[in-house]
Amino acid sequence: MGLFDRKPIAAADESGSGMHRTLGAGDLVMLAIGAVIGAGIFSSLGTAAAGETLADGTVIRYGAGPALVLSFVLLGAVCGLAALCYAELAAMIPQAGSAYAYSYATLGEIVAWIVGWALILEYAVGNVAVAIGWSGYFTSLLSGFGVTLPGWLTHGYWNVKASADPAIRALMDSAPHIAGIPVLVNLPAFGIVVAITLLLLKGVKESARANNIMVVIKLLVLALFVIVGGMHIDPANYKPFAPNGFRGIHQGAAIVFFAYIGFDAISTAAEETKNPQRNLPIGILGGLAVCTLIYVIVGFVATGLVPYEQLRGSDPLAKALSLAGLSTASWIVAAGAVVSMSAVLLVFQYGQPRIFYAMARDGLLPKFAAKLHPKTRTPHVTTIITGVAVALGSLLADDAATYDLTNIGTLAAFSVVCIGVLVLRIREPDRHRPFRVPFVWFVTLGGAGACVFVMRGLPSSAWKAFGIWMVIGLSLYFAYGYKNSVLRRGNAPIAPE
């Protein structure tokens, strides 16, 4: 029996020893929309369109301008290739763990560890940025009701230290001090992560129901933006269409890739999905297709509503409506952003514990991380650990520092999944595949190459930070995982308790 033939422990017993299968195809599509449409479309769209320039005029990134819609199409194609590969592996290997589980079964343990370590950047580290962005929108909404929180309670220490805004930097001196250290914490960000974690501990079906409600709200808000904004489009704003040529489209895609991460989170629900061979491909591909269409339409309206240079900032959609004199619609969209980011937090906080759970079940993490709650059958230990880590990170961190690291880690995992499909086709060509990637050589190699191409659009600082992160991960693997691996020791995977 080979590695790929091992029986998925948690999925083996649907009567109670494993996770409960409660999610259908519709739930998965809604989870995909909940994960993908969020911080990216509501926050990073502006930087992708307008670019990023330092105060001294140094260009960090070139903007795509109105050609932002082509950046979305480019990313849709790249993610589509990766999604096809995810769909084939998810249908064949319906286990928790996402790209980690697929890499384990196709490319071996050490590659799987590297992928699992990279996925922490997508889920946990990415969620720190989402929580901080949520806090910004939430604070703006409160101010609309006349409630103003002090700056030292809405800006984390590292966020203030890294800011180029003099007003924010001034908090270093104006904030209360303890032992000479300024008290700078982002309480709203901390609070929303705690609330989401408590919701997830109640069980997956309850979490999915809450997500469905939030998805409906965010789609209604985006529909409002498209309808109201579309009635005030000025065709002159589309000229020049691509002010920085393909370089702007490429670098714009690298920035706004944060708007696409999350569709793979659906694969972490494999052991809680009814008929996963059918429903996982539908959820992954269907969710990605819907999100790409929405992004293209929203990007077209946003760049037509105001000159693309004016979209720069953390709230481009609300800002565009406000600059166009549509203040009521702007406030509604800001409220929708709070709901949208809540949904992203929910799905990412859902995904990360299940990756830890899968790694622990293989002996690469301590056994306590493989425990399931006796009533809800959810990985409650890793859910709590993830919640604490993300909450503390969002309390103090700088969101801008996490976006590039999140993108490069996610793209690396996507490229490995693409290669894994091809390797398995060569090694086990006769294995039953409920879903088969068409034109496998083109899709797999093209998908991996496309992911690397998008990665090249990220700044060198992201590559350096990613290298350091990988060195830390490999050190942990050889210090613990290598010695305790159930594969290496010849044991069966750790059964859920």
Which of 26-35, 290-299, 343-352, 430-439 has the weakest average pLDDT? 26-35
- 210-213, long-range: CB < 8 A, 24+ apart: 210/346, 211/30, 211/31, 211/34, 211/343, 211/346, 211/347, 212/27, 212/30, 212/34
The pLDDT value recorded for residue 57 is 65
Residues contacting residue 21 through CB under 8 Å, at least 6 positions apart: 14, 271, 272, 273, 274
Rounded to an integer, what distance in angstroms lies between the CA atom of residue 251 and that of residue 112?
29
DSSP 265: G
DSSP 398: -
Q: To which H or E segment does residue 61 belong?
A: strand 59-61
DSSP 39: H
For residue range 435-460, list pLDDT tens digits in order.
788 899 999 999 999 999 999 888 88
Phi, psi of 273 (to 5 degrees): -110, 135
Q: What is the pTM of this model?
A: 0.76
- The answer to whether the CB of 221 falls within 8 A of the CB of 335 is yes
Per-chain mean pLDDT for the chain: 80
- The answer to whether the CB of 125 falls within 8 A of the CB of 405 is yes
Helix, strand, coil percentages for the chain (3-state, nearest 5): 75, 5, 25
For residue range 402-418, list pLDDT tens digits in order.
778 888 888 988 898 89
Helix, strand, or coil here: 248?
Answer: helix
- Candidates 466, 33, 25, 26; CA nearest to 260 is 33
Residues contacting residue 9 through CB under 8 Å, at least 6 positions apart: 18, 361, 492, 493, 494, 495, 496
The pLDDT value recorded for residue 10 is 38
Kindly state the tokens that stand for 33: 């929309």
Kindly state the tokens that stand for 184: 């700078």
Rounded to an integer, what distance in angstroms lies between the CA atom of residue 115 and that of residue 349?
18
For residue range 309-334, list pLDDT tens digits in order.
888 766 788 888 888 888 888 888 88
- Candidates 371, 374, 380; CA nearest to 496 is 371
Distances (CA, A) of 377 to 267, 282, 347, 382: 18, 25, 17, 13
Rounded to an integer, what distance in angstroms lies between the CA atom of residue 444 and that of residue 417?
8
> Is the bond preceding residue 235 a cis peptide, omega within 30 degrees?
no
Handedness of CA 360, 366, 367, 372 (dihedral sign): negative
Burial track 233-245 (b if 16+ CB lie within 10 A, e otherwise)? beeebbeeebbbe
Rounded to an integer, what distance in angstroms lies between the CA atom of residue 298 and that of residue 300?
5
Counting every residue written for the chain, the total comes to 497
Rounded to an integer, what distance in angstroms lies between the CA atom of residue 89 and that of residue 420?
9
Q: Where does 150-244 show beta strands of DSSP type E?
A: 177-178, 181-182
For residue range 75-106, list pLDDT tens digits in order.
888 988 888 888 788 777 766 556 777 778 77
Which of 116-130, 194-208, 340-354, 375-389 has the weakest average pLDDT? 194-208
> Is the bond preceding residue 240 a cis peptide, omega within 30 degrees?
yes
